[in-house]
């Protein structure tokens, strides 16, 4: 089943696997702490006793005799494909999940490699592979040109796709630690299909963008675009273009941002037989570029197009529809059209209450923005009530230290101070800015 999420690295939609079929993966175990301490199973008959790990590896490579040890061999081969840098085990979990490995076999193989001293857990919670060990060198020599290695490279690229799509989530620390490993896989460009290269470039670019390293992000997005354009491969080309445009926008390079969003829309419409959520994303984000330049009519047209596409693809009551309704309402608010803005915020809030469940982040956003509307309209009690609800809901579902929660709390304090000091004079200096999720 496909999952759609929005995260700090940007939103990417529709994640078919490299053969065009929908891919899925179970949620990986993200813990990089102590591995399971169950021992190696032993046989109760008089068969040949279990060999030391190093000898079992060579025996497995040569004779392919033990299905459990085959996971050890393949895991070691997988690890040798990574860069000479600490490995976040969440990355390994994503790859092994993509290959549908039983978790118990992965855990046992990791334990064996740790016992043998080939794999070591660091104080930071990551793993280091001793590539100089004879065991690692033997595995590399024996398997470097095998079909299995080719499949592993593609599996790592598939993991990049799952992460870029939000199907599987890694922490910011894990993503940063994974960077040199993605980059090492990208150097095997000749072994990968264009789409796979595109997904690797996308997840690397997203990680750099989230770290505000925009020059590096732009380089990786451009690299993926160059590979995919000749292949006329829409996935993930439109996502790469969208995120490149987002990098331009974050640097206030409005001209290049607009041009790149328009290119994404044109290519998406030209190459796709059906409308794509990627194209809806392009329209939504293009509207944000127009809005900041006060090109309000063009922004409204783009927002309405994004809403139309999302409703056609997802139905009227979907979180991404509510998100775009909030953004359009923010556009109206910026033009002091409080009546239309209030109507759309209430519609988005009603959608959250009815379909999504009230404990959805978009509900908190709508409540926060309604507080600003009511303050401007002079409905002070409503403004405070909505502001309090936004803070309470955000603390409940996002946590007390989440950036959105802090924004809502600061806005509520501003509303309360203004109402308390200026209500008697009937004059309000200004409401907090509405909270728009621009890149959606």
* pLDDT tens per residue, range 325-359: 999 999 999 998 999 999 999 998 888 776 555 67
Domain end marker among 309, 332, 358: 309
Statement to judge: residues 24 and 149 lie in one domain: yes
Which of 318, 327, 324, 313 lies closest to 275 in space, CA to CA? 313
The whole-angstrom distance between residue 192's C-alpha and the CA centroid of its chain comes to 22
pLDDT in tens, 147-197: 667 777 888 888 888 888 878 888 888 999 999 999 999 988 887 888 889
How many structural domains compose the chain? Answer: 3
Domain end marker among 156, 184, 212: 184
* Distance between CA atoms of residues 96 and 100, nearest Å: 6
Q: What is the pLDDT of residue 439?
A: 43
Query: How would you label 28-56 residue by residue, b for 16+ Cβ within 10 Å and e otherwise?
Result: beeebeebeeeeeeeeeeeeeeeeebeeb
Q: Residue 299: what are its φ and ψ, rounded to 5°? A: -65, -45
Higher pLDDT, 63 or 91: 91
Q: Domain range holding 405?
A: 315-440
Which of 53-57, 58-62, 123-127, 217-221: highest mean pLDDT? 217-221
Residue 302 has pLDDT above 50, yes or no: yes
Statement to judge: residues 62 and 153 lie in one domain: yes
> In 3-state terms, what secondary structure has residue 260?
helix
Which of 409, 370, 380, 373 lies closest to 392 in space, CA to CA? 409
What value does the mean pLDDT take over residues 407-432?
Answer: 67
Domain of 200, CATH number, reads: 1.25.40.10
Statement to judge: residues 339 and 367 lie in one domain: yes
Statement to judge: residues 29 and 172 lie in one domain: yes
* Distance between CA atoms of residues 307 and 312, nearest Å: 8
Report yes or no on whether pTM surpasses 0.85: no
Domain end marker among 138, 153, 184: 184
Task: Say which residues have a Cβ less than 8 Å from residue 190's Cβ, sequence separation at least 6.
Answer: none
Size of the chain, expressed as the number of residues it contains: 440
Q: What is the pLDDT of residue 31?
A: 26
């Amino acid at each position: 089943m496909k999952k759609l999420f929005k995260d700090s690295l940007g939103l990417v939609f529709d994640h078919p696997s490299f053969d065009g079929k929908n891919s899925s993966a179970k949620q990986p175990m993200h813990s990089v702490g102590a591995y399971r301490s169950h021992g190696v199973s032993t046989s109760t008959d008089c068969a040949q006793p279990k060999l030391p790990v190093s000898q079992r590896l060579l025996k497995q490579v040569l004779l392919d005799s033990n299905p459990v040890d085959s996971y050890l061999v393949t895991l070691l081969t997988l690890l040798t494909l990574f860069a000479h840098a600490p490995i976040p085990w969440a990355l390994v979990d994503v790859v092994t999940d993509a290959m549908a490995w039983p978790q118990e076999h992965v855990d046992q193989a990791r334990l064996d490699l740790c016992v043998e001293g080939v794999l070591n857990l660091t104080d930071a919670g990551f793993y280091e592979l001793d590539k100089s060990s004879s065991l690692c060198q033997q595995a590399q020599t024996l398997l470097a040109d095998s079909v299995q290695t080719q499949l592993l490279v593609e599996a790592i690229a598939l993991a990049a796709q799952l992460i870029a799509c939000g199907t599987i989530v890694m922490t910011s620390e894990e993503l940063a630690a994974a960077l040199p490993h993605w980059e090492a896989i990208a150097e095997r460009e000749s072994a990968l299909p264009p789409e796979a290269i595109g997904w690797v470039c996308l997840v690397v670019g997203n990680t750099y963008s989230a770290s505000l390293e925009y020059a590096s992000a732009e380089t990786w997005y451009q690299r993926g675009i160059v590979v995919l354009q000749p292949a006329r491969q829409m996935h993930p080309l439109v996502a790469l273009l969208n995120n490149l445009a987002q990098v331009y926008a974050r640097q206030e390079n409005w001209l290049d941002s607009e041009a790149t969003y328009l290119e994404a829309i044109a290519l998406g419409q030209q190459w796709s037989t059906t409308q794509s959520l990627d194209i809806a994303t392009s329209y939504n984000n293009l509207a944000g570029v127009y809005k900041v330049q006060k090109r309000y009519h063009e922004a409204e047209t783009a927002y309405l197009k994004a809403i139309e596409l999302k409703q056609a693809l997802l139905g009227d009551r979907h979180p991404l529809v509510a998100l775009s309704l909030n953004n359009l309402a923010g556009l109206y608010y910026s033009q002091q059209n409080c009546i239309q803005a209030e109507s759309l915020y209430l519609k988005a809030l009603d959608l959250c209450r009815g379909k999504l469940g009230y404990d959805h982040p978009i509900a908190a956003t709508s409540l926060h923005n309604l507080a600003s509307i009511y303050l401007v309209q002079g409905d002070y009690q409503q403004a405070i009530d909505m502001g309090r609800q936004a803070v309470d809901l955000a603390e409940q579902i996002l946590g007390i230290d989440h950036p959105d929660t802090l924004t809502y709390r600061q806005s509520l304090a501003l509303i309360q101070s203004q109402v308390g000091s200026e209500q008697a004079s009937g004059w309000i200096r200004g409401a907090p800015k509405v909270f728009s999720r621009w890149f959606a």
